[in-house]
């Protein structure tokens, strides 16, 4: 089996351009290379890879399995329980999988099933974004990441946008309506948001974390997960006239934003 490994060279004089990279290795070779060090996060660089001409200690930043075609094996891929960024990326994949289920339910116009699945999605997003990211990751980033306060503020606004769209979609379900435009806007926004975090924000964050910070973040995320109580699905209920007026105003505002091209 092959492994795709994102690594960081731990040699102090390593030049900037080759300090980090991605390589694919047979699992048997990787096991031989990591046996050199007691630290489970380190492995020796393969022969001929380092520009200095001799092997260096490489640190595993992220690792996934590859199939025979060189494609990442999503199911059963190992997540390093000591890697807070790897944990968050894996949760993004789990959230994305829920879209297929929701899409099928929309095609069937199955309101009862949508009521359950969107509640589960809302719980997943809140645990991941509202708690693990905003209450654990973001505070740690403000002091170590350039423009950390501004970056986290932007991401928090995107969280609010997604949750607002999802909330309004669920409100429509209570009136036996499936608002296709709202759920489409929510999914497009969330996909764009996840892509931005995985490919841009998390890459910046990953470079700022030392071993102690990684442990603190993982401990904080685990603590939140053990105490998190998901919101119950509950019964769908009809809204009062006042609540319906507020909902109608929200829908109008969302439509205006959507028509103006607010989605990512």
Measured CA distances, 27 to 60, 67, 69, 137 (Å): 14, 12, 16, 32
DSSP 227-240: H--PPP-----PPP
Q: pLDDT band for 258, please (50, 70, 90 cuts).
A: very low
CATH of 84-259, one of 1.10.10, 1.10.8, 1.20.120, 1.10.3470: 1.20.120
Structure tokens at 232: 């119950």
If one compares 221 and 239, the residue with the highest pLDDT of the two is 221
pLDDT band at 13 (very low <50, low <70, confident <90, very high): low
Q: Which of 91-100, 160-169, 234-243 has the lowest mean pLDDT?
A: 234-243
Mean pLDDT of the chain: 83
pLDDT tens digits for range 63-95: 877 766 566 655 444 667 888 999 999 999 899
Question: What pLDDT does 257 receive?
Answer: 46
Tokens, residue 82: 């000591």
Q: Is the pLDDT of residue 253 over 90?
A: no
Task: Please check whether residue 205 is in contact with residue 137, taking contact to mean a CB–CB distance below 8 angstroms.
Answer: yes
Long-range Cβ pairs for the range 210-218 (8 Å, 24+): 213/140, 213/144, 214/82, 214/83, 214/84, 215/82, 216/140, 217/84, 217/136, 217/137, 217/140, 218/81, 218/82, 218/83, 218/84, 218/87
Q: Which range (70-79, 123-132, 147-156) has the least confidence? A: 70-79
pLDDT recorded at residue 255: 47
Residue 260, phi then psi, degrees to nearest 5: -85, 0
Burial class (CB in 10 A: 0-12, 13-18, 19+), 197: buried
- How many residues are present in the chain? 264
């Amino acid at each position: 089996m092959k492994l795709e490994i994102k690594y960081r060279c731990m040699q102090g004089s390593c030049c900037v351009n080759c300090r980090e990279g991605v390589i694919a290795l047979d699992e048997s070779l990787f096991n031989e290379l990591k046996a050199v060090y007691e630290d489970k996060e380190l492995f020796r660089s393969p022969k001929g890879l380092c520009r200095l001409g001799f092997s260096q200690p490489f640190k595993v930043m992220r690792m996934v399995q590859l199939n025979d075609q060189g494609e990442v094996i999503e199911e059963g891929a190992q997540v390093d329980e000591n890697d807070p960024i790897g944990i968050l990326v894996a949760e993004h994949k789990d959230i994305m999988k829920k879209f297929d289920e929701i899409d099928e339910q929309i095609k069937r116009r199955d309101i009862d099933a949508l009521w359950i699945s969107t509640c589960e999605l809302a719980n997943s997003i809140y645990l991941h974004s509202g708690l693990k990211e905003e209450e654990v990751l973001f505070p740690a980033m403000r002091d170590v990441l350039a423009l950390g306060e501004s970056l986290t503020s932007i991401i928090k606004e995107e969280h609010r946008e997604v949750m607002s769209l999802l909330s309004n979609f669920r409100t429509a379900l209570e009136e036996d309506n499936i608002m296709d435009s709202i759920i489409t806007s929510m999914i497009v926004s969330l996909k764009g948001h996840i892509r931005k975090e995985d490919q841009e924000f998390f890459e910046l964050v990953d470079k700022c974390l030392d071993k102690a910070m990684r442990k603190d973040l993982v401990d904080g995320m685990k603590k939140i997960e053990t105490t998190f109580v998901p919101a119950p699905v509950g019964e769908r209920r009809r809204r009062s006239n006042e609540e319906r007026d507020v909902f109608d105003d929200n829908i109008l505002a969302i439509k205006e934003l959507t028509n103006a091209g607010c989605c990512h």
